[in-house]
Amino acid sequence: MSRHLPSRRSFISLAVAGLLSLGLAGCKEPVKFQGSDISGTHLGRDMAMVDSSGTLRTLADYKGKVVVVFFGFTHCPDVCPTSMAELAQTMSLLKGDAKKVQVVMITVDPERDTGAIMDTYVKAFNPSFVGLTGSPDQLHKTAQSFKAYYAKASGGTADSYSMNHSSSFYILDQTGEARVLLNGNAPAKVIADDIRQLL
């Protein structure tokens, strides 16, 4: 009877190996982003800014979509328009999947960037883009939530001044969780590739 044990053990080993391989086949590959993986940081959770209609917007309003958040301002001479143009190109690269993505630009200059000005600015890049503004307090809390830096640049006048600010793309998944941080000069292909990982 003992001579049958090895074959029985072999059969059990093969069966276990087969079950394991089936189980592993059902597992998803771990997500590998080209940007920095910020999963678990909960950045942006306290976002609360106002759109062009005066409606308060939070991440809950965009649930079900991958959200790309960018901080900038409409008087920005180069960095902001370049970054927004890359986001517009990103939407073109995503083709049909673009409808599952919401790009949101938050102004760091609410003093000059009204809701109407923000709306006109972002829609010049893509009609689906959303521009958000708000009170200085709302901006402070929202930027703090993203750990985004901004400050009025020294010099200039009351009407003519510039803003210093961090330039990054924050990509949040369809549940509103921050997942990827990309440099604001990241090319459209890289942005699109990281977005696709979350669709």
- Provide the residue ranges of all domains of the chain, joining segments of one domain with +: 36-196
pLDDT band at 21 (very low <50, low <70, confident <90, very high): very low
User: Helical H runs in the chain?
Assistant: 5-25, 79-94, 115-123, 136-146, 188-196
Work out the angle at residue 187's Cα, subtended by the Cα atoms of residues 185 and 191, and round it to the nearest 5 degrees: 105
The whole-number average pLDDT for the span 26-38 is: 79
Residue ranges for the known binding site for Cu cation are 76, 80, 165
Residue ranges for the known binding site are 76, 80, 165
What's the CATH number of domain 36-196, 3.40.50.150, 3.40.30.10, 3.30.465.10, 2.130.10.10?
3.40.30.10
pLDDT band at 160 (very low <50, low <70, confident <90, very high): confident
The answer to whether the beta carbons of residues 103 and 129 sit under 8 Å apart is yes
Please report the sign of the dihedral spanned by the C-alpha atoms of residue 138, residue 144, residue 146, residue 148.
positive
**28 or 139, greater pLDDT:** 139
Neighbours of 118 (CB within 10 A): 27
